[in-house]
Amino acid sequence: MNGKERGMDNGMKGDDRQPDPGWRPATRAVRAGLRRSGFQETSEGLFLTSGYAYDSPQQAADRFTGDDDGYIYSRYANPTVDMFQQRLAALEGAEACFATASGMSAIFATFAATLSAGDHIIASHSIFGSITKVITDHLARFGISHTFVDAADMDAWRTAMREETKLLFLETPANPTLDVFDIAAVADIAHQHGALLVVDNVFATPVLQKPLKLGADVVVYSATKHIDGQGRVLGGAVLGRRDFIDEVIQPFMRHTGASLSPFNAWVLLKGLETLPLRVRAMSDAAQRIAEWLQQRLGTEAVRYPGLKSHPRHALAMRQMAAGGSLIAFELPGGREAAFRFLQALELIDISNNLGDAKSLITHPASTTHSALSEEERARQGIGEGLLRISIGLEDVADLQDDLKRGLAAAGIA
Ligand SMILES: Cc1ncc(COP(=O)(O)O)c(C=O)c1O
């Protein structure tokens, strides 16, 4: 049951237009999933309700058996959340989407709904720190084993495969090193063994990269990042085939509770309207700033998928439409220089969030990746002088002026 069918059955005035008559991405971002109530509001309605009233006890009973597909309870489904799910699915080119309370709940739901005791998961070493924790500390308690691999090494994925391997997990570009991995090649390996490939597409966004088209089975998002894009709410999403979302994710989410709130869904819907514009602008600015930083710090010190010097630039340009909004760069002088750089900034905020209209910068070794051992950080290329910047929507010249302050404080002219 999709939001359109459910909306029509529940007194939201149906929109006579086709849900998506072949719209292009910018139109989808603004219009897909829109369902208007009888008031014909232009903006999406915010259905801030936890429950729904029934016309009769029989209707209530029919809702619970599934004979009537109207709404029951907002932990299960909600009209505003449905609109967000449909719009994001349309942008992604996915058959279906399930929205969650945060990116971590999207990822945990995907693991918990697909894996059982005795199963095995293979994940890239270069993933968001909380996901590593979920795999090592929590899935392990339920008898789910794991292997971490260098995601660029296809033999490592193949060698790690076991009879009981059910899921491969990959993030590209990776946080915080901006490494890029081959989605199609890893998907092939997963499918040869009947496993699922799940891709965390947070850094690239649906605007710049479409993992499902490249062979992935499932895409997960922290909607907290570019999808909101203005640093307001937490949210997440799982996207994939209709049967996977309806038969695997939905039954798990319905009973376990990490549903997206209608208010957050409404904020995220408004975020989607401008997502293509924002991501393109941020990515264009990031490309300029990466090139500018490279002139000051040297070729090797700056990691950005849009730079020709990126070790996997050709792959990045094959699977991404542009380099994205994040840049990593290494300062000579380690943590001390990095902290002096951060302290000198007057415009760019020190924050571990990303994808915001405001440019944000973080020192991964002491924040997002501080829980990793020093050895693990070294293996992933997360040095003490490494900074990760999320480029926002400010004027590039103002950002450069601020970065000059940082560079001067770090002793780089
Ligand atoms: C790549 C990536 N995946 C997942 C997450 C988790 O998302 P959330 O904070 O919305 O739970 C984050 C958060 O920083 C992230 O950067």
- Is the CB of residue 400 less than 8 Å from the CB of residue 290? no
Q: Is 202 in the pocket of ligand 1 (CB under 6 A)?
A: yes
∠ CA 251-269-277 to the nearest 5 degrees?
A: 130
Choosing from 224, 233, 351, 388 the residue with most ligand 1 atoms within 8 A of its CB, the one to mutate for a pocket test is 224
Residue for token pair 């699977």: 319
Give residue 168's identity as a one-letter amino acid code. L
Q: Tell the residue nearest (CA) to atom 6 of ligand 1.
A: 103
Q: What is the 3-state secondary structure (H, E, C) of the chain?
A: CCHHHHHHHCCCCCCCCCCCCCCCHHHHHHHCCCCCCCCCCCCCCCCCCCECCCCCHHHHHHHHHCCCCCCCECCCCCHHHHHHHHHHHHHHCCCEEEEECCHHHHHHHHHHHHCCCCCEEEEECCCCHHHHHHHHHHHHHHCCEEEEECCCCHHHHHHHCCCCEEEEEEECCCCCCCCCCCHHHHHHHHHHCCCEEEEECCCCHHHHCCCCCCCCCEEEEECCCCCCCCCCCCCEEEEECHHHHHHHHHHHHHHHCCECCHHHHHHHHHHHHHHHHHHHHHHHHHHHHHHHHHHHHCHHHEECCCCCCCCCHHHHHHHCCCCCCEEEEECCCHHHHHHHHHHHCCCCEECCCCCCCCCEEECHHHCCCCCCCHHHHHHHCCCCCEEEEECCCCCHHHHHHHHHHHHHHCCCC
State the distance from the centre of ligand 1 to the C-alpha of 6, rounded, in angstroms: 31
Q: Is 103 near ligand 1, meaning CB less than 6 Å away?
A: yes
Distance 64 CA to ligand 1 centre (A): 34
* Closest C-alpha residue for ligand 1 atom 2: 128
Protein residue with its CA nearest to atom 16 in ligand 1: 128
Please tell us whether the domain made up of 275-409 is placed in CATH 3.40.47.10.
Answer: no
For residue 73, the CA-to-ligand 1 centroid distance in Å is 27
Ligand 1: centre distance to CA 192 (Å) = 29
Q: What is the pLDDT, as a whole number, of residue 223?
A: 98
What pLDDT is attached to residue 5?
A: 41
Contacts of 80 (CB under 8 A, 6+ apart): 44, 45, 46, 47, 48, 262, 265, 266, 269
224 ligand 1 Cβ < 6 A: yes
* pLDDT computed for residue 401 by the predictor: 98
Q: Whose CA is nearest to atom 14 of ligand 1?
A: 353
| Per-residue pLDDT of the chain in tens (413 residues, 90 and over written 9) | 333 344 444 444 344 445 678 899 999 999 999 999 999 999 999 999 999 999 999 999 999 999 999 999 999 999 999 999 999 999 999 999 999 999 999 999 999 999 999 999 999 999 998 999 999 999 999 999 999 999 999 999 999 999 999 999 999 999 999 999 999 999 999 999 999 999 999 999 999 999 999 999 999 999 999 999 999 999 999 999 999 999 999 999 999 999 999 999 999 999 999 999 999 999 999 999 999 999 999 999 999 999 999 999 999 999 999 999 999 999 999 999 999 999 999 999 999 999 999 999 999 999 999 988 899 899 889 999 999 999 999 999 999 999 999 999 999 97
Check pocket membership of 368 for ligand 1, CB cut-off 6 A: no
Q: Which of 133, 175, 222, 226 to mutate to test the pocket of ligand 1 (most atoms within 8 A of CB)?
A: 222
pLDDT for the residue 399: 98
Distance 232 CA to ligand 1 centre (A): 14
Q: Is 102 in the pocket of ligand 1 (CB under 6 A)?
A: yes
Tell me, using a 6 A CB cutoff, whether residue 128 lines ligand 1.
Answer: yes
Ligand 1 atom closest to the CA of 175, numbered from 1: 1
Residue 347 pLDDT: 98
200 lines ligand 1 (CB under 6 A): yes
Helices 396-409 and 334-344 cross at an angle (nearest 10°) of 130
In this predicted structure, what is the pLDDT of residue 285? 98
Contact 117, 59 (CB under 8 A): no
| Ligand 1 center–CA 38 separation, angstroms | 37
Expressed in angstroms and rounded, the spacing between residue 301 Cα and the centre of ligand 1 is: 25
Which pLDDT score, from 0 to 100, does residue 376 have?
Answer: 86
Look at residue 74 in the predicted model and tell me its pLDDT. 96
**What confidence score (pLDDT) does residue 11 get?**
42
Asked if residue 104 has its Cβ within 6 Å of ligand 1, the reply is: yes
Q: How far is the CA of 338 from the centre of ligand 1 (A)?
A: 23
Tell me how many degrees the CA angle 97-100-105 measures, rounded to the nearest 5: 120
Is residue 234 within 6 Å of ligand 1 at its C-beta? Answer: yes
Q: Which atom of ligand 1 is nearest to the CA of 105?
A: 11
CA 235 to ligand 1 centroid distance, Å: 9
